[in-house]
Amino acid sequence: MVRTRLSSIKKGRAKLPRNLTAIRLLHKEEICELLDSSADFKARVIDGKAIPSLGKKVVGMLFFENSTRTRVSFEQAAHYLGLKTANFSAAGSSMSKGETLKDTILTLRYERLDALVMRHRASGSATLAARYFNGPVLNAGDGQHEHPTQALGDALTILERKGSLDGLTVSIVGDVEHSRVARSNAWLLSKMGAEVRFVGPRTLVPTPQHIGMLPGEVFHDLQSGIQGADVIICLRLQKERMQEGMLSSIGEYAKLYQINRDTLRYAKPDCVVMHPGPINRGVELDDAAADSERSAITAQIENGIFVRMAALNWVFGENDMGPRAVETPDKSAKKAVKAK
Protein backbone atom coordinates (compact mmCIF):
# COMPACT_ATOMS: atom_id res chain seq x y z
CA MET A 1 0.00 0.00 0.00
CA VAL A 2 2.79 2.42 0.90
CA ARG A 3 4.70 1.58 -2.26
CA THR A 4 1.58 2.15 -4.34
CA ARG A 5 1.04 5.55 -2.81
CA LEU A 6 4.66 6.54 -3.28
CA SER A 7 4.59 5.47 -6.92
CA SER A 8 1.44 7.51 -7.54
CA ILE A 9 3.07 10.56 -5.96
CA LYS A 10 6.13 10.14 -8.18
CA LYS A 11 3.90 9.82 -11.24
CA GLY A 12 2.06 12.97 -10.22
CA ARG A 13 5.33 14.88 -10.01
CA ALA A 14 6.58 13.69 -13.37
CA LYS A 15 4.74 16.44 -15.23
CA LEU A 16 6.87 19.54 -15.53
CA PRO A 17 5.18 22.74 -14.32
CA ARG A 18 4.32 25.49 -16.76
CA ASN A 19 5.82 28.85 -15.80
CA LEU A 20 5.34 32.42 -16.98
CA THR A 21 8.71 34.03 -16.37
CA ALA A 22 9.34 35.99 -19.59
CA ILE A 23 7.56 37.09 -22.76
CA ARG A 24 10.78 36.45 -24.64
CA LEU A 25 10.35 32.71 -24.01
CA LEU A 26 6.78 32.57 -25.36
CA HIS A 27 5.81 31.66 -28.88
CA LYS A 28 3.47 33.95 -30.77
CA GLU A 29 0.74 31.31 -30.55
CA GLU A 30 1.03 31.24 -26.75
CA ILE A 31 0.74 35.03 -26.56
CA CYS A 32 -2.38 34.86 -28.73
CA GLU A 33 -3.81 32.15 -26.48
CA LEU A 34 -3.23 34.24 -23.36
CA LEU A 35 -4.73 37.37 -24.90
CA ASP A 36 -7.72 35.46 -26.21
CA SER A 37 -8.31 33.93 -22.79
CA SER A 38 -7.93 37.37 -21.16
CA ALA A 39 -10.62 38.84 -23.41
CA ASP A 40 -12.91 35.90 -22.64
CA PHE A 41 -12.46 36.24 -18.89
CA LYS A 42 -13.12 39.97 -19.10
CA ALA A 43 -16.37 39.40 -20.96
CA ARG A 44 -17.49 36.82 -18.43
CA VAL A 45 -16.72 39.06 -15.44
CA ILE A 46 -18.42 42.10 -16.99
CA ASP A 47 -21.49 40.09 -18.01
CA GLY A 48 -21.73 38.52 -14.56
CA LYS A 49 -21.49 35.01 -15.94
CA ALA A 50 -20.07 32.04 -14.08
CA ILE A 51 -16.30 31.70 -14.04
CA PRO A 52 -14.73 28.22 -13.95
CA SER A 53 -13.01 27.57 -10.63
CA LEU A 54 -9.45 26.27 -10.46
CA GLY A 55 -10.26 24.36 -7.30
CA LYS A 56 -8.82 24.49 -3.83
CA LYS A 57 -5.34 25.61 -4.85
CA VAL A 58 -3.20 28.05 -2.87
CA VAL A 59 -1.06 30.66 -4.62
CA GLY A 60 1.81 32.23 -2.72
CA MET A 61 2.27 35.99 -3.22
CA LEU A 62 5.96 36.62 -2.59
CA PHE A 63 6.76 40.31 -3.05
CA PHE A 64 10.24 41.56 -2.18
CA GLU A 65 9.44 44.94 -3.74
CA ASN A 66 6.42 47.13 -3.08
CA SER A 67 3.77 46.96 -5.79
CA THR A 68 0.20 47.75 -4.87
CA ARG A 69 -1.07 47.50 -8.46
CA THR A 70 0.46 44.16 -9.39
CA ARG A 71 -0.13 42.44 -6.05
CA VAL A 72 -3.78 43.52 -5.73
CA SER A 73 -4.38 42.64 -9.38
CA PHE A 74 -3.06 39.10 -8.88
CA GLU A 75 -5.13 38.76 -5.70
CA GLN A 76 -8.27 39.85 -7.54
CA ALA A 77 -7.52 37.44 -10.38
CA ALA A 78 -7.05 34.59 -7.90
CA HIS A 79 -10.29 35.52 -6.14
CA TYR A 80 -12.30 35.37 -9.38
CA LEU A 81 -10.84 31.93 -10.13
CA GLY A 82 -11.67 30.52 -6.70
CA LEU A 83 -8.02 30.36 -5.61
CA LYS A 84 -6.72 31.07 -2.15
CA THR A 85 -3.71 33.33 -1.66
CA ALA A 86 -0.97 33.35 0.97
CA ASN A 87 0.87 36.66 1.23
CA PHE A 88 4.55 37.05 2.07
CA SER A 89 6.64 40.20 2.26
CA ALA A 90 10.38 40.83 2.34
CA ALA A 91 10.24 42.36 5.80
CA GLY A 92 8.43 39.39 7.24
CA SER A 93 10.37 36.68 5.45
CA SER A 94 13.31 34.65 6.69
CA MET A 95 15.47 36.39 4.10
CA SER A 96 15.56 39.37 6.44
CA LYS A 97 17.34 36.99 8.84
CA GLY A 98 19.90 35.91 6.26
CA GLU A 99 18.15 33.06 4.46
CA THR A 100 18.95 32.72 0.74
CA LEU A 101 16.29 33.07 -1.94
CA LYS A 102 16.82 29.42 -2.89
CA ASP A 103 16.06 28.23 0.64
CA THR A 104 13.04 30.52 0.88
CA ILE A 105 11.65 29.01 -2.34
CA LEU A 106 12.32 25.47 -1.07
CA THR A 107 10.53 26.30 2.18
CA LEU A 108 7.46 27.53 0.32
CA ARG A 109 7.57 24.46 -1.90
CA TYR A 110 7.35 22.15 1.09
CA GLU A 111 4.67 24.32 2.69
CA ARG A 112 2.60 22.76 -0.11
CA LEU A 113 1.78 25.91 -2.04
CA ASP A 114 0.44 25.13 -5.51
CA ALA A 115 1.89 28.13 -7.36
CA LEU A 116 4.07 31.15 -6.72
CA VAL A 117 3.74 34.76 -7.85
CA MET A 118 7.00 36.55 -7.18
CA ARG A 119 8.47 40.03 -7.51
CA HIS A 120 12.14 40.52 -6.71
CA ARG A 121 14.78 43.18 -7.30
CA ALA A 122 17.23 40.71 -8.86
CA SER A 123 17.05 39.95 -12.57
CA GLY A 124 16.65 36.21 -13.11
CA SER A 125 15.10 35.58 -9.69
CA ALA A 126 11.90 34.19 -11.25
CA THR A 127 13.93 31.68 -13.25
CA LEU A 128 15.73 30.59 -10.09
CA ALA A 129 12.40 30.21 -8.30
CA ALA A 130 11.03 28.07 -11.13
CA ARG A 131 14.07 25.79 -10.84
CA TYR A 132 13.43 24.95 -7.17
CA PHE A 133 9.71 25.46 -6.54
CA ASN A 134 8.45 22.42 -8.50
CA GLY A 135 5.21 24.16 -9.37
CA PRO A 136 3.99 27.03 -11.57
CA VAL A 137 5.89 30.30 -11.08
CA LEU A 138 4.59 33.62 -12.40
CA ASN A 139 7.00 36.50 -12.69
CA ALA A 140 5.53 39.69 -11.23
CA GLY A 141 8.68 41.63 -12.11
CA ASP A 142 12.32 40.63 -11.68
CA GLY A 143 14.87 43.42 -11.50
CA GLN A 144 15.59 44.94 -14.90
CA HIS A 145 14.61 41.76 -16.74
CA GLU A 146 10.88 41.35 -17.46
CA HIS A 147 7.31 41.98 -16.30
CA PRO A 148 5.28 39.65 -18.55
CA THR A 149 1.77 40.20 -17.21
CA GLN A 150 2.15 43.98 -17.49
CA ALA A 151 2.96 43.58 -21.19
CA LEU A 152 -0.02 41.26 -21.67
CA GLY A 153 -2.31 43.81 -20.02
CA ASP A 154 -0.90 46.56 -22.21
CA ALA A 155 -1.41 44.42 -25.31
CA LEU A 156 -5.03 43.68 -24.40
CA THR A 157 -5.64 47.40 -23.88
CA ILE A 158 -4.14 48.27 -27.26
CA LEU A 159 -6.24 45.56 -28.94
CA GLU A 160 -9.41 47.03 -27.47
CA ARG A 161 -8.53 50.47 -28.85
CA LYS A 162 -6.92 49.50 -32.15
CA GLY A 163 -8.34 46.07 -33.03
CA SER A 164 -4.92 44.66 -33.91
CA LEU A 165 -1.26 44.84 -32.93
CA ASP A 166 0.10 43.99 -36.36
CA GLY A 167 1.43 47.03 -38.23
CA LEU A 168 1.17 49.49 -35.34
CA THR A 169 3.96 51.91 -34.45
CA VAL A 170 4.51 51.90 -30.69
CA SER A 171 6.88 54.40 -29.06
CA ILE A 172 8.20 53.52 -25.60
CA VAL A 173 9.39 56.74 -23.97
CA GLY A 174 11.63 57.07 -20.93
CA ASP A 175 14.11 54.99 -18.95
CA VAL A 176 14.30 51.97 -21.24
CA GLU A 177 17.64 50.69 -19.98
CA HIS A 178 16.35 49.99 -16.46
CA SER A 179 12.76 49.08 -17.37
CA ARG A 180 11.45 45.52 -17.25
CA VAL A 181 8.13 46.85 -18.61
CA ALA A 182 9.92 48.13 -21.72
CA ARG A 183 11.61 44.79 -22.26
CA SER A 184 8.46 42.69 -21.98
CA ASN A 185 6.49 45.10 -24.17
CA ALA A 186 9.22 45.18 -26.80
CA TRP A 187 9.33 41.40 -27.07
CA LEU A 188 5.55 41.01 -27.14
CA LEU A 189 4.81 43.81 -29.59
CA SER A 190 7.56 42.80 -32.01
CA LYS A 191 6.42 39.17 -31.95
CA MET A 192 2.91 40.37 -32.83
CA GLY A 193 4.04 42.47 -35.79
CA ALA A 194 4.28 45.97 -34.33
CA GLU A 195 7.11 48.43 -34.95
CA VAL A 196 8.78 49.31 -31.65
CA ARG A 197 10.63 52.55 -30.97
CA PHE A 198 12.68 53.41 -27.88
CA VAL A 199 12.73 57.13 -27.09
CA GLY A 200 14.72 58.98 -24.46
CA PRO A 201 18.07 60.52 -23.47
CA ARG A 202 21.28 58.69 -24.36
CA THR A 203 21.95 57.90 -20.70
CA LEU A 204 18.63 56.05 -20.39
CA VAL A 205 18.18 54.70 -23.92
CA PRO A 206 21.49 53.35 -25.19
CA THR A 207 21.91 51.54 -28.49
CA PRO A 208 20.06 48.20 -28.87
CA GLN A 209 23.39 46.36 -28.59
CA HIS A 210 23.64 47.59 -25.02
CA ILE A 211 20.07 46.86 -23.90
CA GLY A 212 19.95 43.13 -24.41
CA MET A 213 19.50 43.20 -28.20
CA LEU A 214 15.90 44.27 -27.77
CA PRO A 215 13.89 44.48 -30.99
CA GLY A 216 13.34 48.14 -31.80
CA GLU A 217 14.77 51.39 -33.14
CA VAL A 218 16.37 53.99 -30.88
CA PHE A 219 15.50 57.71 -30.95
CA HIS A 220 16.99 60.40 -28.73
CA ASP A 221 14.71 63.13 -30.06
CA LEU A 222 11.10 63.02 -28.88
CA GLN A 223 9.58 64.54 -32.01
CA SER A 224 11.22 61.99 -34.29
CA GLY A 225 10.53 59.15 -31.88
CA ILE A 226 6.78 59.68 -31.66
CA GLN A 227 6.22 60.95 -35.21
CA GLY A 228 3.21 59.09 -36.57
CA ALA A 229 2.98 56.81 -33.52
CA ASP A 230 -0.20 54.80 -32.96
CA VAL A 231 0.61 54.17 -29.30
CA ILE A 232 2.89 55.91 -26.80
CA ILE A 233 3.89 54.01 -23.66
CA CYS A 234 5.48 56.32 -21.10
CA LEU A 235 7.77 54.80 -18.49
CA ARG A 236 8.05 55.99 -14.91
CA LEU A 237 11.11 58.16 -14.42
CA GLN A 238 13.06 56.82 -11.46
CA LYS A 239 14.29 59.86 -9.57
CA GLU A 240 17.23 57.92 -8.17
CA ARG A 241 18.74 58.10 -11.66
CA MET A 242 19.49 61.76 -10.94
CA GLN A 243 21.68 60.71 -8.03
CA GLU A 244 23.50 58.32 -10.33
CA GLY A 245 24.30 61.14 -12.73
CA MET A 246 22.09 59.83 -15.52
CA LEU A 247 19.88 62.92 -15.50
CA SER A 248 20.84 66.52 -14.88
CA SER A 249 17.38 67.44 -13.58
CA ILE A 250 13.76 66.37 -13.60
CA GLY A 251 12.84 69.69 -15.19
CA GLU A 252 15.16 69.13 -18.12
CA TYR A 253 13.76 65.66 -18.72
CA ALA A 254 10.18 67.00 -18.66
CA LYS A 255 11.12 69.77 -21.08
CA LEU A 256 12.64 67.35 -23.60
CA TYR A 257 10.55 64.17 -23.22
CA GLN A 258 7.22 64.94 -21.58
CA ILE A 259 4.09 63.76 -23.39
CA ASN A 260 1.62 66.64 -23.33
CA ARG A 261 -0.85 68.53 -25.50
CA ASP A 262 1.91 70.06 -27.59
CA THR A 263 4.09 67.00 -28.15
CA LEU A 264 1.11 64.78 -28.95
CA ARG A 265 0.68 66.75 -32.17
CA TYR A 266 3.53 64.73 -33.65
CA ALA A 267 1.76 61.42 -33.08
CA LYS A 268 -1.31 60.23 -34.96
CA PRO A 269 -4.58 62.00 -34.07
CA ASP A 270 -5.96 58.79 -32.55
CA CYS A 271 -2.74 57.89 -30.73
CA VAL A 272 -3.29 55.97 -27.50
CA VAL A 273 -1.36 57.18 -24.43
CA MET A 274 -0.34 54.58 -21.84
CA HIS A 275 1.67 54.36 -18.61
CA PRO A 276 2.30 51.35 -16.34
CA GLY A 277 2.10 53.55 -13.23
CA PRO A 278 2.62 55.08 -10.85
CA ILE A 279 2.64 58.33 -12.83
CA ASN A 280 4.86 61.26 -11.95
CA ARG A 281 2.41 63.92 -13.11
CA GLY A 282 4.15 66.88 -14.63
CA VAL A 283 7.17 64.76 -15.54
CA GLU A 284 6.37 61.87 -17.91
CA LEU A 285 2.87 63.22 -18.63
CA ASP A 286 0.94 66.38 -17.98
CA ASP A 287 -2.68 66.34 -16.83
CA ALA A 288 -4.00 66.97 -20.34
CA ALA A 289 -2.35 63.82 -21.67
CA ALA A 290 -2.96 61.62 -18.62
CA ASP A 291 -6.66 62.43 -18.36
CA SER A 292 -7.62 62.89 -22.00
CA GLU A 293 -9.78 60.59 -24.13
CA ARG A 294 -6.56 59.32 -25.67
CA SER A 295 -5.40 57.99 -22.32
CA ALA A 296 -5.86 54.26 -21.68
CA ILE A 297 -4.15 54.25 -18.29
CA THR A 298 -7.19 53.24 -16.23
CA ALA A 299 -8.02 50.54 -18.80
CA GLN A 300 -4.49 49.16 -18.34
CA ILE A 301 -5.13 48.83 -14.60
CA GLU A 302 -8.43 47.02 -15.08
CA ASN A 303 -7.12 44.73 -17.82
CA GLY A 304 -4.28 43.69 -15.54
CA ILE A 305 -6.81 41.63 -13.59
CA PHE A 306 -8.04 39.72 -16.64
CA VAL A 307 -4.63 38.91 -18.09
CA ARG A 308 -3.57 37.61 -14.68
CA MET A 309 -6.67 35.43 -14.59
CA ALA A 310 -5.59 34.07 -17.97
CA ALA A 311 -2.02 33.64 -16.75
CA LEU A 312 -3.05 31.67 -13.65
CA ASN A 313 -5.40 29.54 -15.74
CA TRP A 314 -2.60 28.95 -18.26
CA VAL A 315 0.14 27.93 -15.81
CA PHE A 316 -2.17 25.48 -14.09
CA GLY A 317 -2.74 23.84 -17.47
CA GLU A 318 -6.46 24.39 -17.35
CA ASN A 319 -6.66 25.83 -20.85
CA ASP A 320 -9.64 23.72 -21.95
CA MET A 321 -11.80 24.84 -19.04
CA GLY A 322 -11.53 28.55 -19.85
CA PRO A 323 -14.66 30.43 -21.02
CA ARG A 324 -13.82 30.03 -24.70
CA ALA A 325 -17.30 30.59 -26.13
CA VAL A 326 -17.94 33.98 -24.52
CA GLU A 327 -18.15 37.01 -26.80
CA THR A 328 -16.06 40.00 -25.75
CA PRO A 329 -17.53 43.51 -25.44
CA ASP A 330 -15.16 44.53 -28.23
CA LYS A 331 -15.34 41.68 -30.74
CA SER A 332 -12.69 43.24 -32.95
CA ALA A 333 -10.06 42.80 -30.23
CA LYS A 334 -10.75 39.10 -29.86
CA LYS A 335 -10.88 38.51 -33.62
CA ALA A 336 -7.58 40.33 -34.04
CA VAL A 337 -5.92 38.02 -31.53
CA LYS A 338 -7.31 34.89 -33.14
CA ALA A 339 -6.26 36.02 -36.58
CA LYS A 340 -2.55 36.02 -35.69
What pLDDT does 88 receive?
85
Dist. CA 45–CA 168, nearest whole Å: 29
What pLDDT does 240 receive?
60
- Does residue 289 sit within a domain? yes
Mark whether 107 and 155 lie in a shared domain. Answer: no
Mark whether 159 and 274 lie in a shared domain. Answer: yes
The DSSP-derived string for 282-307 is TTTB-HHHHSSTTB-HHHHHHHHHHH
- Does residue 5 sit within a domain? no
15 by DSSP, 3-state: which? coil
Residue 287: which domain range? Answer: 149-297
* Positions in the chain short of pLDDT 70: 1-15, 90-98, 207-212, 239-247, 318-340
Mark whether 95 and 200 lie in a shared domain. Answer: no
The DSSP-derived string for 73-104 is HHHHHHHHTT-EEEEEETTTSGGGGT--HHHH
What pLDDT does 117 receive?
97
- Does residue 41 sit within a domain? yes
- Does residue 335 sit within a domain? no
- Does residue 180 sit within a domain? yes
Mark whether 225 and 154 lie in a shared domain. Answer: yes
Cβ neighbourhood burial of 185 (10 Å; 0-12, 13-18, 19+) = buried
Give the helix ranges, DSSP H, for 138-261.
148-162, 180-191, 222-226, 240-243, 250-257
What pLDDT does 210 receive?
61
The number of residues making up the chain comes to 340
Mark whether 292 and 308 lie in a shared domain. Answer: no
Cβ neighbourhood burial of 190 (10 Å; 0-12, 13-18, 19+) = middle
Number of H helices, E strands in the chain: 13, 9
336 by DSSP, 3-state: which? helix
Yes or no: say if 252 and 203 are a contact pair by the CB < 8 Å rule: no
Phi, psi of 65 (to 5 degrees): -130, 150
What pLDDT does 141 receive?
96
3-state helix, strand, coil split of the chain in percent (to 5) is 45, 15, 40
Mark whether 128 and 205 lie in a shared domain. Answer: no
What pLDDT does 16 receive?
75
What pLDDT does 107 receive?
92
What one-letter code names the amino acid at 128?
L
Residues pairing with 63 in the sheet = 89, 119
Mark whether 30 and 116 lie in a shared domain. Answer: yes
Looking at the 3D structure of the chain, how many domains does it have? 2
Q: Which candidate, 168, 120, 173, 127, places its Cα nearest to that of 21? A: 127
Mark whether 107 and 142 lie in a shared domain. Answer: yes
The set of long-range contacts for 325-332, using a CB threshold of 8 Å and a minimum separation of 24, is 326/40, 326/43, 326/44, 326/47, 326/49, 327/43, 328/39, 328/40, 328/42, 328/43, 329/42, 329/43, 329/46, 330/39, 330/159, 330/160, 330/163, 332/163
Mark whether 199 and 290 lie in a shared domain. Answer: yes
Look up the CATH number of the domain holding residue 243: 3.40.50.1370
Structure pTM?
Answer: 0.87
Dist. CA 224–CA 199, nearest whole Å: 9
Dist. CA 197–CA 266, nearest whole Å: 14
What pLDDT does 313 receive?
97
Mark whether 214 and 247 lie in a shared domain. Answer: yes
